Chain A
Amino acid sequence: MARSLRSISFPHPVVGVGDDVAGTLNCNAPELDFGVDNTTLSIDGLEVTDPTIAVLIQQREAAFTIRVTCGATYYRETFHTHDAQLQHVLPSAKLVGEVKLQVRVCTMRRIDDYRPAGLHPDYEGRSFTVQAGDVLAVGDDFTVHAVKQFDPLATDIPSIMRIVRGSHLKGPFKVNFFLDQIVIALSHEDHARYGLACHIAPGVIHASIVLPVLCEAIWLVQRGAKEDDMLAEAQWFRRLKDMLETRGIDESGSSLDAAQKLLDAPLTRAFADTLKGREED
C-alpha cells in the first residue's frame, strides 16, 4: 500500500496542511479484502490530535471520512465514521486496477465561529465559518492495486464459486461455468432456505451443492479447455488448476476423489452438522 501526501490550498485552516493548525490526523493503513462478490474496506487507528476537532467528532458535528476512488470503473464514494475504525463492504466489481483512498476529517454541518485549539498564533482573534462537508483535517492518501489475486495455498473454494438466486421458482439448481466464477443458481424455493441452512449446517451445503459442482469443474479441468470457448481464460479454471497442483492432487485421477480432498472430507462434516446435538443425547 503506497502512501502519499498532496499539497492543497484550503479556504480555512486545516490540520495536516502546513502549520496553520498544530496536530495530525493519524490512521493505520487501510485494508481491502477482495472477495469474489464483495470487498471489505477496513481502517482503524483513526485519531486526530487537535482537541477541538476531536470533540466535534465525538459530538457528531464532524466525522472521519474515507474517499474511495477507482478511475477504471468510474467509481467514487465517501464513507464516514465517528469512531476510531470503519468497515464497509462494497461490490468487488467496482474496483479494478488502481484504487485511491483519502483519509480526512470533515464537518457534517455548518459551524460558525470555528476556531481549532492548535490554530497558529498568526490567526489570533480570528474564527471561521465552515460549511457542511468542509475538510478540517487531512490524513494520508493511499493507493492499492486491486488485483483480485488468488492464493492457491488457501484452497479457497468460495473464491471460485458463488451461489445466487436463479430465475426459476422450483426445481434443480443450474450451473454456469462460463464466467470468471462458477455461478450456481438455486431455485427461489431452495434459495429461501439456503441462507439459514448455510448458517446452521455448512457441511450439508458443501456435500450437496459444492461437491457435485466441484467434481464437474475438476472434470472440465482434466478434459482441458477447448480452444474456442471461454473456459481457457475463465479465472476459476486457472485457479482450480493451481489449487490441484499446489495440493499435489493428481489431475488425471478421479474427480470425485480430488473434490473430496479439496473440500476436506465434506461428507464427514455434513454428518457432523446434521447429527450435532443428537449424538450427544
Chain B
Amino acid sequence: MPRIYVLREDALKELENRVLIGEGITRYLQPGPFEFAPGQLLEFPHEPAHDAPSLTMGDSRRERASTDFENALKIYEWLGPLTETEARDPRLWAWLAHAPFADYTRSRWPIPTDAKKTRESIRDHWFVYHEGRASLRRHSIARLWWAVHLTRTPWENDDALSPLRNEDPYTYTRLLLGNQEVFFHTLEREFGSNRRILIAMLEVIYRLRSRRKPTPLVKWLAKEVNLACRYRELDLLPIGELIEFMESLAALEVENSGGI
C-alpha cells in the first residue's frame, strides 16, 4: 500500500539548518530521492490510491513551465483535497520535495551554482520556510496543489460565481498556470487570497485573450486592483460588476500602452 509521509519536526529543522549553514548542498545536486530513517517520518493520515505520479519534465525553461498545468492535475489527483491547515503543513511539502518528487524539483528548479543563490533556491523550492503565502507559491509541489485548490470549479464553493459555471472544471487553473507572470502577479499579492477577486481577474484575462497578451495585462491589472483594494471593498460587488470594473481597468491598460 503506497503511503504519504511527513517529516518529523526535528528532522525538518535539521534539514533546514544544514541548508542554512551550507552543509549537505551537494546532495541536492545529485539525482534520486533523499533517504530518511523511519524515525524521521510520520505517516500522513490520507492514503493515496496509487504510487506517486510520474511528473513531466522539460529541458528548456519554457518547456519546464509549460508542464505545470499537467503536473498540477496529477499532484492534486494523487494527494486529493486537503483542508487548508493540512495543506499548509511544511513537514508534508518538505517530504514530498525531498522524497517522491526530488528529481522533479531538481529539474523544474535547477539549483544555481552561486553559493548564496543555491541556499535561497533550495529554501524556496524544497521547503515551505515561513508563514506567508509566498512560501507556498514558491515550493515546487505546494504551488501546484494550491493552484488547483484555488481555481478548480470555483462556482461550487461560492454561489456568487455561479454565472461563470462552465463544463471545464479547470478553466481557471489552466489560465493561472498557463503563464508564469499570471501565476506570480495574482498569487503574490494579497488580493489573490480572495477567491472572487482572483477568479474575476482570470476571467478578464480569458475574455481579452485574443486582443491582449496576458503578461502586460496581468501586470497592469494586478497593480491597479491592488491599489483599488486599499480604497474599495471589491468583495462587496456582485461578480458581474467586479468583472466590469476590471474590464474598465484593462481598457486603461490599452490606452496607457498606446493600443486600441
Contacts and interface: CB of A to CB of B under 8 A. Distances in A.
Interface of A: 8-12, 14, 65, 67, 69-78, 80, 91-94, 96-98, 104, 106, 108, 131-135, 176, 178-180, 227-230, 232-233
B236 A93 contact: no
B54 interface: no
Given A69-B193, A133-B234, A179-B45, 15 more contacts: A9-B230, A67-B235, A72-B88, A73-B85, A74-B84, A74-B136, A78-B235, A80-B236, A93-B86, A96-B84, A178-B43, A180-B85, A227-B39, A229-B43, A230-B45
Secondary structure at chain B's binding surface: helix, strand, loop or mixed? helix
B233 A75 contact: no
Contacts of B210: none
A227 B231 CA distance: 53
Contacts of A9: 230-231
A180 B84 CA distance: 14
A65 B136 contact: no
A180 B46 CA distance: 12
Interface string B208-241: 0000000000000000000000111111110001
A163 B83 CA distance: 17
A74 B150 contact: yes
Interface residues of B, number: 36
Contacts, number: 105
Contact of A65 (B190, B191, B230, B236): B236
A8 B84 contact: no
Contacts of B39: 227-228
A233 B237 contact: no
Contact of A233 (B42, B187, B194): B42
Interface of B: 8-9, 38-39, 41-45, 83-88, 131-133, 136, 146, 150, 187, 190-194, 230-237, 241
27 contacts: A8-B230, A8-B231, A12-B231, A65-B236, A67-B235, A71-B133, A72-B131, A72-B132, A74-B192, A76-B191, A76-B194, A78-B233, A93-B84, A93-B85, A104-B233, A131-B232, A132-B236, A132-B241, A133-B232, A133-B234, A133-B235, A133-B236, A134-B231, A178-B45, A227-B38, A229-B43, A230-B44
A131 to B, nearest CB: 7
A275 B7 CA distance: 51
A176 B45 contact: yes
A74 B88 CA distance: 10
Contacts of A228: 38-39, 41-43
A106 B84 contact: no
Contact of B8 (A10, A108, A233): A233
Contact of A78 (B38, B41, B236): B236
Contacts of B192: 74
Contacts of B84: 73-75, 93-94, 96
Contact of A132 (B44, B133, B187, B237): B237
